[in-house]
Amino acid sequence: MPVGFFPSDINLKLFKEPDFIGLSSLLVREDIGLLFIGARGKVITLNLDDITEKTSETEWMVSSGEKSECMIKGKSIEDCENYITTLHSLHDSRIFTCGTRAFKPLCTHLLYKGGNVTMETTTQDGRGRAPFDPHEDFVSLMYENTFYSAVSVDFMGKRKLFLRTGRTSLSTEDKISWFNGKVTA
């Protein structure tokens, strides 16, 4: 006997916000019941029990000077924003966070305390941890507080490296064939 599926059988929920643009990363934190969403210029959190409920918003914008400098180098006004591309949980409950930052990647940490999400004021260079370009394909992984990434390390996206950052850091040589599935000697 065939089993039918009807969309009305599922209670789907949708989060909508008028100025929510450039979704670029997601992180589920079941331990605190939140979904972290990195987008253009901000990180928002949604309640995992009801994703229509926004619980916080933390802005991370670029200055007009940074945006102008980026545009002078030939990039579009939209691409010269800060797209939050990297969100990873750390053992101390902080969230390692990186953004494209007008083609000057930058990283910091988010803190969750007392129902509020705040951003640390200390930052670190995001080169090798986040892409310069918000449209670039890249990958990153956090394992036992060691960060692994495969991403470009220059403004034009020509130099791509595998990087390990942690107690002992390591990066590969610049070998583009590793990134497009071709093996050459």
pLDDT tens-digit readout, 133-164: 999 988 899 998 888 888 887 777 677 777 77
Which domain CATH number covers 59?
A: 2.130.10.10
Predicted model pTM: 0.82
Average pLDDT over residues 77-90: 95
In a domain, 91, yes or no: yes
Q: Is the pLDDT of residue 96 over 50?
A: yes
* Within a domain: 8: no
Residue 85 belongs to what domain range?
Answer: 18-179
Burial class (CB in 10 A: 0-12, 13-18, 19+), 157: middle
Distance between CA atoms of residues 91 and 94, nearest Å? 7
Query: Could you tell me if residue 74 is inside a domain?
Result: yes
Higher pLDDT pick, 35 / 167: 35
Cα 38 from Cα 23, distance rounded (Å): 6
Q: Report the domain count for the chain.
A: 1
Q: What percent of the chain has pLDDT over 70?
A: 82
